[in-house]
Amino acid sequence: MKSISDFETASMSPSAENDTASTAGASALGGGASSIPTSSQPNPQGSPPATSTPQSASASSLTSTPSASASPAATPNSSSMTSVVDIGYELAGKNLVPDCATDSNFNSCLFWKNPVAQTGAILSGHGLTTSTDLSSVQIDAVNIPSGWYDNSGYLQNPTIKVYLDQTSNTAARVTTAAGNFKFAYANDANRKVTQTMVFYWLMTEVNFFKERVGKFYAENHGVVVFASDSTLQNNAYFSLTDHTLHAGRDDQGVDLAVGAEIVLHEMGHANAFFSSNGGIHIASGGQTADGYCTTARAGSLCCRDKFGCASGIDEGQADHHAGLVFISDPALGQTWFNNLNGVVDCGIARNAVKNLNLTADEVYLSCGNSGAGSNFNGEIHIMGALYASIWYALAATARATGGADAVDIDKLFSEHLKVLTGADNFPSVYAKLRAIDSSLFGGKFGTAIQAEFKKRNLI
Protein backbone atom coordinates (compact mmCIF):
# COMPACT_ATOMS: atom_id res chain seq x y z
CA MET A 1 0.00 0.00 0.00
CA LYS A 2 1.68 3.13 -1.18
CA SER A 3 -0.32 5.85 0.45
CA ILE A 4 -2.96 6.67 2.96
CA SER A 5 -5.85 8.12 1.04
CA ASP A 6 -8.39 10.55 2.33
CA PHE A 7 -11.74 12.12 1.68
CA GLU A 8 -12.70 9.68 -1.05
CA THR A 9 -16.42 10.19 -1.36
CA ALA A 10 -18.93 7.63 -2.36
CA SER A 11 -21.76 10.05 -2.92
CA MET A 12 -21.66 13.79 -3.13
CA SER A 13 -25.35 14.28 -2.54
CA PRO A 14 -25.67 16.75 0.33
CA SER A 15 -27.73 15.80 3.31
CA ALA A 16 -30.90 17.64 4.17
CA GLU A 17 -28.82 19.95 6.30
CA ASN A 18 -26.42 20.71 3.45
CA ASP A 19 -28.68 22.08 0.75
CA THR A 20 -26.23 24.83 -0.08
CA ALA A 21 -23.41 22.54 -1.11
CA SER A 22 -21.84 23.68 -4.35
CA THR A 23 -19.52 20.81 -5.16
CA ALA A 24 -16.62 22.84 -6.39
CA GLY A 25 -14.62 19.66 -6.35
CA ALA A 26 -17.12 16.88 -6.82
CA SER A 27 -14.37 14.33 -7.23
CA ALA A 28 -13.12 13.69 -3.77
CA LEU A 29 -9.78 12.97 -2.18
CA GLY A 30 -9.00 9.33 -2.10
CA GLY A 31 -7.22 6.27 -3.18
CA GLY A 32 -3.89 7.90 -3.70
CA ALA A 33 -4.72 7.33 -7.35
CA SER A 34 -8.49 7.37 -7.55
CA SER A 35 -11.12 10.01 -7.51
CA ILE A 36 -14.85 9.84 -7.74
CA PRO A 37 -16.08 11.20 -11.03
CA THR A 38 -19.20 13.25 -11.48
CA SER A 39 -22.29 11.77 -13.01
CA SER A 40 -21.39 13.24 -16.38
CA GLN A 41 -17.96 11.61 -16.48
CA PRO A 42 -16.76 8.04 -16.93
CA ASN A 43 -16.23 5.97 -13.84
CA PRO A 44 -12.75 4.47 -14.30
CA GLN A 45 -12.02 3.66 -10.67
CA GLY A 46 -15.17 1.76 -9.83
CA SER A 47 -16.43 4.52 -7.58
CA PRO A 48 -20.15 5.31 -7.57
CA PRO A 49 -21.21 8.35 -9.59
CA ALA A 50 -21.69 11.57 -7.73
CA THR A 51 -25.28 12.67 -7.50
CA SER A 52 -24.43 16.35 -7.49
CA THR A 53 -22.87 17.74 -10.63
CA PRO A 54 -20.07 20.24 -10.01
CA GLN A 55 -20.64 23.77 -11.13
CA SER A 56 -18.06 25.62 -13.15
CA ALA A 57 -16.44 28.06 -10.80
CA SER A 58 -16.27 31.73 -11.53
CA ALA A 59 -14.53 34.62 -9.85
CA SER A 60 -16.33 35.09 -6.58
CA SER A 61 -16.04 36.44 -3.08
CA LEU A 62 -17.42 35.43 0.25
CA THR A 63 -20.93 36.52 0.99
CA SER A 64 -21.19 38.77 3.99
CA THR A 65 -23.80 36.62 5.70
CA PRO A 66 -24.38 32.89 5.71
CA SER A 67 -26.89 31.44 3.29
CA ALA A 68 -30.26 31.00 4.89
CA SER A 69 -30.29 27.33 4.01
CA ALA A 70 -26.80 26.63 5.22
CA SER A 71 -26.46 24.81 8.50
CA PRO A 72 -24.10 26.13 11.17
CA ALA A 73 -20.95 24.09 10.94
CA ALA A 74 -20.60 23.40 14.61
CA THR A 75 -23.99 22.92 16.20
CA PRO A 76 -23.90 19.54 17.94
CA ASN A 77 -26.99 17.36 17.56
CA SER A 78 -26.77 16.22 21.14
CA SER A 79 -28.27 18.46 23.79
CA SER A 80 -25.46 17.64 26.19
CA MET A 81 -22.88 19.13 23.82
CA THR A 82 -24.28 22.48 22.83
CA SER A 83 -21.34 24.60 23.94
CA VAL A 84 -18.23 22.62 23.19
CA VAL A 85 -15.14 24.79 23.02
CA ASP A 86 -11.61 23.79 23.84
CA ILE A 87 -10.52 25.70 26.90
CA GLY A 88 -8.53 28.61 25.53
CA TYR A 89 -6.21 26.84 23.15
CA GLU A 90 -8.11 26.86 19.88
CA LEU A 91 -9.03 30.53 20.03
CA ALA A 92 -5.37 31.43 20.48
CA GLY A 93 -5.02 30.80 16.76
CA LYS A 94 -7.96 33.02 15.80
CA ASN A 95 -7.24 36.72 15.73
CA LEU A 96 -9.24 38.51 13.06
CA VAL A 97 -7.77 41.94 12.32
CA PRO A 98 -9.39 43.74 9.36
CA ASP A 99 -6.27 45.80 8.59
CA CYS A 100 -3.88 42.88 9.05
CA ALA A 101 -2.13 43.58 5.74
CA THR A 102 -0.86 46.93 7.03
CA ASP A 103 -0.55 46.10 10.71
CA SER A 104 3.14 45.77 11.57
CA ASN A 105 2.33 43.84 14.74
CA PHE A 106 1.83 40.70 12.66
CA ASN A 107 4.01 39.04 10.06
CA SER A 108 1.34 36.96 8.39
CA CYS A 109 -2.31 37.27 7.35
CA LEU A 110 -3.99 33.91 6.82
CA PHE A 111 -7.37 32.22 7.01
CA TRP A 112 -8.60 30.75 10.26
CA LYS A 113 -9.03 27.12 9.21
CA ASN A 114 -10.44 28.04 5.77
CA PRO A 115 -12.35 30.96 4.25
CA VAL A 116 -15.77 29.37 4.64
CA ALA A 117 -15.22 28.29 8.24
CA GLN A 118 -13.72 31.63 9.21
CA THR A 119 -16.72 33.63 8.05
CA GLY A 120 -19.43 31.04 8.60
CA ALA A 121 -20.54 31.82 5.07
CA ILE A 122 -20.45 29.96 1.80
CA LEU A 123 -18.71 31.56 -1.16
CA SER A 124 -20.90 33.49 -3.54
CA GLY A 125 -21.12 32.31 -7.11
CA HIS A 126 -19.88 28.75 -7.46
CA GLY A 127 -16.97 28.75 -5.08
CA LEU A 128 -13.35 29.67 -4.91
CA THR A 129 -11.02 30.17 -7.86
CA THR A 130 -7.34 31.03 -8.03
CA SER A 131 -8.24 34.61 -9.01
CA THR A 132 -10.73 35.26 -6.21
CA ASP A 133 -9.94 38.41 -4.25
CA LEU A 134 -9.88 37.27 -0.64
CA SER A 135 -8.19 40.35 0.81
CA SER A 136 -11.17 41.10 3.03
CA VAL A 137 -11.14 37.56 4.39
CA GLN A 138 -7.42 36.98 4.72
CA ILE A 139 -7.36 38.66 8.12
CA ASP A 140 -6.39 35.99 10.63
CA ALA A 141 -3.44 37.98 12.00
CA VAL A 142 -0.66 35.74 13.29
CA ASN A 143 3.05 35.73 13.87
CA ILE A 144 5.25 32.93 12.63
CA PRO A 145 8.15 32.97 15.10
CA SER A 146 11.69 32.57 13.82
CA GLY A 147 12.09 29.62 16.14
CA TRP A 148 9.67 27.64 13.97
CA TYR A 149 12.00 27.56 10.96
CA ASP A 150 15.66 26.68 10.54
CA ASN A 151 18.48 28.62 8.87
CA SER A 152 17.84 27.11 5.42
CA GLY A 153 16.03 30.27 4.33
CA TYR A 154 12.73 28.43 3.78
CA LEU A 155 9.67 27.32 5.73
CA GLN A 156 11.15 24.16 7.14
CA ASN A 157 12.49 22.57 10.30
CA PRO A 158 13.36 19.02 11.41
CA THR A 159 9.64 18.10 11.46
CA ILE A 160 8.24 19.55 8.22
CA LYS A 161 9.61 20.99 5.00
CA VAL A 162 7.18 22.92 2.85
CA TYR A 163 7.49 22.98 -0.94
CA LEU A 164 5.11 24.17 -3.61
CA ASP A 165 4.89 21.12 -5.87
CA GLN A 166 8.28 19.41 -6.16
CA THR A 167 11.58 19.54 -4.33
CA SER A 168 13.45 20.81 -7.39
CA ASN A 169 11.26 23.92 -7.56
CA THR A 170 13.12 25.92 -4.92
CA ALA A 171 12.43 29.22 -6.68
CA ALA A 172 8.75 28.93 -5.79
CA ARG A 173 9.32 28.33 -2.08
CA VAL A 174 8.47 30.92 0.54
CA THR A 175 11.65 32.47 1.91
CA THR A 176 12.19 33.46 5.51
CA ALA A 177 15.01 36.02 5.27
CA ALA A 178 12.77 39.07 5.66
CA GLY A 179 10.61 37.47 8.33
CA ASN A 180 7.53 38.70 6.49
CA PHE A 181 4.86 36.28 5.25
CA LYS A 182 2.13 38.56 3.99
CA PHE A 183 1.05 37.60 0.49
CA ALA A 184 -2.02 38.19 -1.65
CA TYR A 185 -3.99 35.07 -2.50
CA ALA A 186 -5.30 35.98 -5.95
CA ASN A 187 -3.32 35.12 -9.09
CA ASP A 188 -0.16 34.00 -7.32
CA ALA A 189 1.60 31.37 -9.41
CA ASN A 190 3.74 30.33 -6.44
CA ARG A 191 0.72 30.05 -4.13
CA LYS A 192 2.59 31.54 -1.20
CA VAL A 193 -0.52 31.93 0.92
CA THR A 194 -1.12 28.20 0.65
CA GLN A 195 2.47 27.38 1.55
CA THR A 196 2.30 29.68 4.56
CA MET A 197 -1.06 28.26 5.63
CA VAL A 198 0.37 24.76 5.48
CA PHE A 199 3.42 25.66 7.56
CA TYR A 200 1.58 27.71 10.16
CA TRP A 201 -1.25 25.28 10.77
CA LEU A 202 0.90 22.16 10.75
CA MET A 203 3.17 23.75 13.33
CA THR A 204 0.08 24.69 15.32
CA GLU A 205 -0.99 21.04 15.24
CA VAL A 206 2.45 19.86 16.32
CA ASN A 207 2.56 22.36 19.16
CA PHE A 208 -1.01 21.55 20.22
CA PHE A 209 -0.11 17.94 20.79
CA LYS A 210 3.25 18.68 22.39
CA GLU A 211 1.75 21.16 24.82
CA ARG A 212 -1.42 19.19 25.39
CA VAL A 213 -0.23 15.59 25.66
CA GLY A 214 3.55 15.91 25.74
CA LYS A 215 4.41 14.42 22.37
CA PHE A 216 3.81 14.46 18.64
CA TYR A 217 5.12 11.25 17.15
CA ALA A 218 5.87 12.72 13.72
CA GLU A 219 8.13 15.37 15.23
CA ASN A 220 11.67 15.40 13.81
CA HIS A 221 10.79 13.01 10.99
CA GLY A 222 11.31 15.61 8.27
CA VAL A 223 7.99 15.17 6.48
CA VAL A 224 8.23 16.88 3.09
CA VAL A 225 4.94 18.65 2.40
CA PHE A 226 3.85 19.55 -1.12
CA ALA A 227 1.34 22.32 -0.53
CA SER A 228 0.04 22.39 -4.10
CA ASP A 229 0.75 19.17 -5.96
CA SER A 230 -0.25 20.03 -9.52
CA THR A 231 -0.28 16.35 -10.50
CA LEU A 232 -2.91 15.47 -7.90
CA GLN A 233 -6.55 16.34 -8.50
CA ASN A 234 -9.18 16.28 -5.77
CA ASN A 235 -7.00 14.32 -3.41
CA ALA A 236 -4.45 14.52 -0.63
CA TYR A 237 -2.41 11.82 1.02
CA PHE A 238 0.48 10.87 3.26
CA SER A 239 2.84 8.40 1.59
CA LEU A 240 3.84 5.33 3.55
CA THR A 241 6.89 4.77 1.38
CA ASP A 242 8.74 8.09 1.36
CA HIS A 243 6.82 9.82 4.17
CA THR A 244 5.81 12.81 2.06
CA LEU A 245 2.54 14.67 2.40
CA HIS A 246 0.74 15.74 -0.77
CA ALA A 247 -2.15 18.19 -1.03
CA GLY A 248 -3.61 18.49 -4.50
CA ARG A 249 -5.89 20.89 -6.33
CA ASP A 250 -9.58 20.81 -7.13
CA ASP A 251 -11.22 20.89 -10.55
CA GLN A 252 -10.72 24.66 -10.75
CA GLY A 253 -7.05 24.48 -9.82
CA VAL A 254 -7.64 25.73 -6.27
CA ASP A 255 -5.35 24.32 -3.60
CA LEU A 256 -7.10 21.95 -1.22
CA ALA A 257 -4.65 23.14 1.43
CA VAL A 258 -6.44 26.49 1.55
CA GLY A 259 -8.40 24.41 4.02
CA ALA A 260 -5.98 23.86 6.89
CA GLU A 261 -8.01 20.91 8.13
CA ILE A 262 -7.05 18.95 5.01
CA VAL A 263 -3.33 18.94 5.82
CA LEU A 264 -3.95 18.51 9.56
CA HIS A 265 -5.84 15.33 8.71
CA GLU A 266 -2.96 14.11 6.56
CA MET A 267 -0.46 14.85 9.29
CA GLY A 268 -2.74 12.83 11.55
CA HIS A 269 -1.96 9.85 9.35
CA ALA A 270 1.74 10.64 9.69
CA ASN A 271 1.47 10.93 13.46
CA ALA A 272 -0.28 7.56 13.73
CA PHE A 273 2.27 5.99 11.40
CA PHE A 274 5.26 7.21 13.40
CA SER A 275 3.63 6.37 16.73
CA SER A 276 4.17 2.67 16.07
CA ASN A 277 6.44 2.51 13.03
CA GLY A 278 3.46 1.84 10.81
CA GLY A 279 1.80 -0.65 13.14
CA ILE A 280 -1.69 0.38 12.09
CA HIS A 281 -0.89 -0.97 8.63
CA ILE A 282 0.45 -4.31 9.85
CA ALA A 283 -2.03 -7.10 10.44
CA SER A 284 -1.15 -10.16 12.49
CA GLY A 285 -1.12 -13.19 10.24
CA GLY A 286 -1.48 -10.94 7.23
CA GLN A 287 -5.22 -10.65 7.79
CA THR A 288 -7.09 -7.38 7.71
CA ALA A 289 -10.71 -6.50 8.28
CA ASP A 290 -10.96 -4.42 5.14
CA GLY A 291 -10.65 -4.97 1.43
CA TYR A 292 -11.71 -3.58 -1.89
CA CYS A 293 -15.36 -2.61 -1.96
CA THR A 294 -17.54 -5.23 -3.63
CA THR A 295 -17.34 -4.98 -7.44
CA ALA A 296 -15.19 -1.86 -7.12
CA ARG A 297 -11.75 -1.48 -8.60
CA ALA A 298 -8.52 -0.57 -6.84
CA GLY A 299 -8.72 2.72 -5.00
CA SER A 300 -11.87 2.13 -2.96
CA LEU A 301 -11.63 0.29 0.33
CA CYS A 302 -14.50 -0.88 2.50
CA CYS A 303 -14.79 -2.43 5.93
CA ARG A 304 -16.51 -5.79 5.71
CA ASP A 305 -19.09 -5.21 8.43
CA LYS A 306 -20.43 -2.59 10.81
CA PHE A 307 -17.66 -3.33 13.30
CA GLY A 308 -15.20 -1.46 11.13
CA CYS A 309 -11.59 -2.08 10.19
CA ALA A 310 -8.12 -0.62 10.60
CA SER A 311 -8.38 1.60 7.52
CA GLY A 312 -11.63 3.10 8.81
CA ILE A 313 -10.09 3.63 12.23
CA ASP A 314 -7.09 5.32 10.61
CA GLU A 315 -9.34 7.71 8.70
CA GLY A 316 -11.30 8.51 11.84
CA GLN A 317 -8.29 9.20 14.00
CA ALA A 318 -6.92 11.48 11.26
CA ASP A 319 -10.23 13.35 11.19
CA HIS A 320 -9.96 13.76 14.95
CA HIS A 321 -6.45 15.16 14.68
CA ALA A 322 -7.88 18.05 12.67
CA GLY A 323 -10.94 18.20 14.90
CA LEU A 324 -8.88 18.69 18.03
CA VAL A 325 -7.20 21.78 16.60
CA PHE A 326 -10.54 23.14 15.38
CA ILE A 327 -12.79 21.63 18.02
CA SER A 328 -15.52 24.26 17.70
CA ASP A 329 -15.83 23.43 14.00
CA PRO A 330 -14.52 19.95 13.09
CA ALA A 331 -16.01 19.77 9.57
CA LEU A 332 -13.56 18.80 6.81
CA GLY A 333 -13.46 20.26 3.29
CA GLN A 334 -15.71 23.29 3.75
CA THR A 335 -14.07 25.62 1.23
CA TRP A 336 -13.39 22.80 -1.19
CA PHE A 337 -17.07 21.89 -1.27
CA ASN A 338 -18.32 25.41 -0.50
CA ASN A 339 -20.42 23.90 2.24
CA LEU A 340 -20.45 24.61 5.94
CA ASN A 341 -20.57 20.88 6.68
CA GLY A 342 -17.79 20.04 4.26
CA VAL A 343 -17.52 16.69 2.53
CA VAL A 344 -20.65 14.52 2.53
CA ASP A 345 -20.37 10.81 1.74
CA CYS A 346 -23.56 8.82 1.19
CA GLY A 347 -25.42 11.33 3.35
CA ILE A 348 -22.79 11.16 6.12
CA ALA A 349 -20.98 14.45 6.73
CA ARG A 350 -17.29 14.52 7.60
CA ASN A 351 -18.35 16.68 10.50
CA ALA A 352 -18.22 14.97 13.88
CA VAL A 353 -20.87 17.13 15.51
CA LYS A 354 -23.41 15.96 12.93
CA ASN A 355 -22.77 12.30 13.69
CA LEU A 356 -22.99 12.12 17.46
CA ASN A 357 -26.13 9.99 17.46
CA LEU A 358 -25.42 7.75 14.47
CA THR A 359 -25.15 4.02 14.97
CA ALA A 360 -22.68 1.73 13.25
CA ASP A 361 -25.56 0.05 11.44
CA GLU A 362 -26.71 3.34 9.91
CA VAL A 363 -23.22 4.34 8.85
CA TYR A 364 -22.26 0.95 7.45
CA LEU A 365 -25.40 0.76 5.28
CA SER A 366 -25.44 4.44 4.31
CA CYS A 367 -24.23 4.05 0.73
CA GLY A 368 -26.88 1.49 -0.12
CA ASN A 369 -29.58 3.40 1.71
CA SER A 370 -28.65 6.70 0.05
CA GLY A 371 -28.74 5.26 -3.46
CA ALA A 372 -25.00 5.48 -4.03
CA GLY A 373 -24.73 1.70 -4.19
CA SER A 374 -24.69 -1.04 -1.59
CA ASN A 375 -21.36 -2.22 -3.01
CA PHE A 376 -19.86 0.77 -1.18
CA ASN A 377 -21.36 -0.04 2.19
CA GLY A 378 -18.61 0.27 4.78
CA GLU A 379 -16.46 2.66 2.75
CA ILE A 380 -13.52 3.46 5.02
CA HIS A 381 -13.84 7.26 5.11
CA ILE A 382 -17.50 6.97 6.06
CA MET A 383 -16.69 4.45 8.77
CA GLY A 384 -13.94 6.82 9.84
CA ALA A 385 -16.51 9.58 10.29
CA LEU A 386 -18.23 7.35 12.84
CA TYR A 387 -14.97 6.77 14.72
CA ALA A 388 -14.15 10.49 14.69
CA SER A 389 -17.56 11.28 16.17
CA ILE A 390 -16.96 8.83 19.02
CA TRP A 391 -13.74 10.63 19.88
CA TYR A 392 -15.37 14.02 19.48
CA ALA A 393 -18.10 13.01 21.93
CA LEU A 394 -15.53 11.79 24.45
CA ALA A 395 -13.50 14.99 24.07
CA ALA A 396 -16.60 17.15 24.38
CA THR A 397 -17.78 15.39 27.52
CA ALA A 398 -14.35 15.69 29.11
CA ARG A 399 -14.12 19.38 28.26
CA ALA A 400 -17.55 19.96 29.75
CA THR A 401 -16.33 18.27 32.93
CA GLY A 402 -13.23 20.43 32.92
CA GLY A 403 -10.13 20.07 35.02
CA ALA A 404 -7.64 17.33 34.24
CA ASP A 405 -10.22 15.34 32.26
CA ALA A 406 -10.12 17.83 29.41
CA VAL A 407 -6.42 17.15 28.89
CA ASP A 408 -6.34 13.50 29.87
CA ILE A 409 -8.86 12.49 27.23
CA ASP A 410 -6.49 13.88 24.60
CA LYS A 411 -3.65 11.95 26.20
CA LEU A 412 -5.76 8.81 25.93
CA PHE A 413 -6.28 9.52 22.24
CA SER A 414 -2.55 10.00 21.70
CA GLU A 415 -1.63 6.87 23.64
CA HIS A 416 -4.06 4.67 21.75
CA LEU A 417 -2.35 5.49 18.44
CA LYS A 418 0.66 3.46 19.58
CA VAL A 419 -1.29 0.21 19.93
CA LEU A 420 -3.35 0.29 16.72
CA THR A 421 -2.66 -2.53 14.26
CA GLY A 422 -3.93 -3.54 10.86
CA ALA A 423 -6.03 -6.27 12.46
CA ASP A 424 -8.08 -3.88 14.59
CA ASN A 425 -11.77 -3.16 14.36
CA PHE A 426 -13.99 -1.05 16.60
CA PRO A 427 -14.56 -3.73 19.28
CA SER A 428 -10.84 -4.50 19.55
CA VAL A 429 -10.02 -0.82 19.85
CA TYR A 430 -12.70 -0.51 22.52
CA ALA A 431 -10.89 -3.14 24.56
CA LYS A 432 -7.58 -1.36 24.07
CA LEU A 433 -9.05 1.96 25.15
CA ARG A 434 -10.45 0.43 28.32
CA ALA A 435 -7.05 -1.11 29.10
CA ILE A 436 -5.14 2.14 28.53
CA ASP A 437 -7.69 4.10 30.54
CA SER A 438 -7.39 1.64 33.40
CA SER A 439 -3.59 1.70 33.31
CA LEU A 440 -3.03 5.44 32.98
CA PHE A 441 -6.13 7.08 34.39
CA GLY A 442 -7.57 4.64 36.86
CA GLY A 443 -10.48 3.85 34.56
CA LYS A 444 -12.08 7.26 34.96
CA PHE A 445 -13.19 7.36 31.33
CA GLY A 446 -14.50 3.79 31.32
CA THR A 447 -18.16 4.68 31.73
CA ALA A 448 -18.04 7.30 28.97
CA ILE A 449 -16.16 5.00 26.57
CA GLN A 450 -18.59 2.16 27.20
CA ALA A 451 -21.59 4.45 26.73
CA GLU A 452 -20.33 5.76 23.40
CA PHE A 453 -19.53 2.36 21.92
CA LYS A 454 -22.79 0.93 23.21
CA LYS A 455 -24.79 3.83 21.80
CA ARG A 456 -23.27 3.09 18.39
CA ASN A 457 -24.23 -0.63 18.65
CA LEU A 458 -20.58 -1.67 18.67
CA ILE A 459 -20.59 -3.57 21.95
Exposure of 44 by Cβ count < 10 A (0-12 exposed, 13-18 middle, 19+ buried)? exposed
Residue 209, phi then psi, degrees to nearest 5? -70, -40
- Helix (H) / strand (E) element for 223: namely strand 223-226
Rounded CA separation 227/248 (Å): 7
The CA angle 408-282-438, to the nearest 5 degrees, is 25
pLDDT at 61: 27
Beta strands at 223-226 and 244-247: parallel, antiparallel or unpaired = parallel
Contact 20, 92 (CB under 8 A): no
Q: β-strands 244-247, 301-303: how paired?
A: unpaired
Contacts of 251 (CB under 8 A, 6+ apart): 24, 25, 26, 27, 54, 57, 233, 234
What's the pLDDT at 127? Answer: 84
What separation in angstroms does the CA of 287 have from each of 174, 209, 290, 421?
Answer: 44, 32, 9, 11
Residue-by-residue pLDDT tens, the chain, 459 positions: 345 545 554 443 333 233 232 222 222 344 322 222 222 222 222 333 233 322 222 222 222 222 323 333 333 333 333 333 344 455 456 899 999 999 999 999 999 999 999 999 998 876 899 999 999 999 999 999 999 999 999 999 999 999 999 999 999 999 999 999 999 999 999 999 999 999 999 999 999 999 999 999 999 999 999 999 999 999 999 999 999 999 999 999 999 999 999 999 999 999 999 999 899 888 654 445 566 686 554 457 899 899 999 999 999 999 999 999 999 999 999 999 999 999 999 999 999 999 999 999 999 999 999 998 888 999 999 999 999 999 999 999 999 998 899 999 999 999 999 999 999 999 999 999 999 999 999 999 999 999 999 999 999
CB 111 within 8 A of CB 336: no
CB 302 within 8 A of CB 293: yes
Measured between alpha carbons, how far is 426 from 229 in angstroms, rounded to an integer?
Answer: 34
> What pLDDT, on the 0 to 100 scale, is given for residue 6?
55
Domain residue extents for the chain:
60-455
User: At the topology level of CATH, where does 60-455 sit?
Assistant: Elastase; domain 1 (3.10.170)
Q: What is the pLDDT of residue 282?
A: 80
